[in-house]
Amino acid sequence: MTRVFNFSAGPAALPESVLQTAAAEMLDWHGSGMSVMEMSHRGKEFISIADEAQALLRELLAVPAHYKVLFMQGGALAENAIVPMNMLRGKTAADYIDTGEWSKKSIKEAQKYCTVNVAASAKAGGYTSIPPRAEWALNPDAAYVHICSNETIGGVEYHFTPDVGSVPLVADMSSDILSRPIDVSRYGLIYGGAQKNIGPAGLTIVIVRDDLIGQALPATPSAFDYKTVADNDSMFNTPPTYAIYIAGLVFQWIKAQGGLAAMATHNAAKAALLYDFLDTTSFYSCPVARDCRSLMNVPFRLKDEKLDEAFLKGAKERGMVQLKGHRSVGGMRASIYNAMPLEGVKTLVAFMKEFEAQHG
């Protein structure tokens, strides 16, 4: 068996030890005689798995007691609708910050439910930076302010938590949740699909402040009303049980590595290796402003795009896959989430140098 270095943006690489544990427990979880996939979600075995996953996530992120942690389905794109349905709370408008492909999708969906004020946009600069907080034109009557903390496609990440006063801050953290410590109390709501930095697709994480739930629009589907989900411990309907189990194993793995502080150090070291190299060469280039560069998704271009195919082929021959950039931006993208070892980035940089020496 050979495992590749998988630079996929999502679904993405998982820690190998997590996959090994899952394999070892596949047929018989802890003497239950069953696979986790075969368990009743209301049985004591699965309830213990879900409770432990939630407790670990709370511990890793230091989630305050007055926040609910919900395990939902539908991904971040469903949340683009579920957020306004739940968070408008009698108001009719919300502020959105436009920083790229994922914010654009959030904005478009929210427009079905409310008046969207795009309070700041990075569009004019080709989505290569985060508009400075001082330039945001916020509406004091907005129900919430929405940001995408890491634009997975453009490779643009917030390296600050914006102060938006008493209006709740809502963040799509699909692709940088658990990559570093955050202060959850600065947010009204955090959401994200699991398949980037947490576990398998199918699980959506929502962390929401207690006082913001219970006022969903009347037409909100019950399964998407945060109050219903919270009152039923995320088991109003059958939750994605196996995805929750794997997420729990990933949380254990993060804790064993030293928690989010250790993840932040590990991720900063990997990103620095790649960006420092990109800054020394004109053969490759990264379009993103230095202070907004993503530690999770590193987009870069070759000087001559006619070499792209040869680059991808050479990378594949060396065991590195999924480096092709998103179709909307072209070039390359290396996604280096928590589970990507430093060795993977070292191998990539070594290959980039070798390729430049041959073709530069």
Ligand X SMILES: *Cc1c(COP(=O)(O)O)cnc(C)c1O
Chain residues binding ligand X by CB under 6 A are 10, 75-77, 102, 148, 152, 172, 174-175, 193, 196
Q: How far apart are CA 103 and CA 23, in angstroms?
A: 37
350: amino acid identity, one letter: A
- 136 catalytic residue (yes or no): no
> Shortest Cβ contact with ligand X: which residue?
75
Q: How far apart are CA 207 and CA 294, in angstroms?
A: 22
φ/ψ of residue 160, rounded to 5 = -150, 160
- Residue 326 CB, shortest distance to ligand X, in Å, is 10
- 98 catalytic residue (yes or no): no
Q: Which of 196, 225, 253, 270 is catalytic?
A: 196
Question: Which lies closer to ligand X via its Cβ, residue 61 or residue 302?
Answer: 61
What's the token pair of residue 309?
Answer: 């195919």
Question: Which lies closer to ligand X via its Cβ, residue 53 or residue 148?
Answer: 148
Question: Which lies closer to ligand X via its Cβ, residue 148 or residue 250?
Answer: 148
Pairing of strands 150-151, 156-157: antiparallel
- Residue 300 CB, shortest distance to ligand X, in Å, is 18
What is the chain's length?
360
**Nearest CA among 273, 259, 264 for reference residue 343:** 273
Question: Which lies closer to ligand X via its Cβ, residue 102 or residue 226?
Answer: 102
Question: Which lies closer to ligand X via its Cβ, residue 29 or residue 150?
Answer: 150
- Residue 102 CB, shortest distance to ligand X, in Å, is 4
Q: Which of 98, 172, 176, 225 is catalytic?
A: 172
Question: Which lies closer to ligand X via its Cβ, residue 77 or residue 93?
Answer: 77
The three-state DSSP-derived secondary structure of the chain is CCCCEECCCCCCCCCHHHHHHHHHCCCCCCCCCCCHHHCCCCCHHHHHHHHHHHHHHHHHHCCCCCEEEEEECCHHHHHHHHHHHHHCCCCCEEEEEECCHHHHHHHHHHCCCCEEEEEEECHHHCCCCCCCHHHCCCCCCCCCEEEECEECCCCEECCCCCCCCCCCEEEECCCCCCCCCCCHHHCCEEEEECCCCCCCCCCEEEEEEHHHCCCCCCCCCHHHCHHHHHHCCCCCCCCCHHHHHHHHHHHHHHHHHCHHHHHHHHHHHHHHHHHHHHCCCCCEECCCCHHHECCCEEEEEECCHHHHHHHHHHHHHCCEECCECCCCCCCEEEECCCCCCHHHHHHHHHHHHHHHHHHC
- 102 catalytic residue (yes or no): yes
- Residue 174 CB, shortest distance to ligand X, in Å, is 4
Question: Which lies closer to ligand X via its Cβ, residue 39 or residue 247?
Answer: 247
Q: Which of 29, 95, 98, 102 is catalytic?
A: 102
- Residue 103 CB, shortest distance to ligand X, in Å, is 8
Catalytic residue numbers read 102, 172, 196
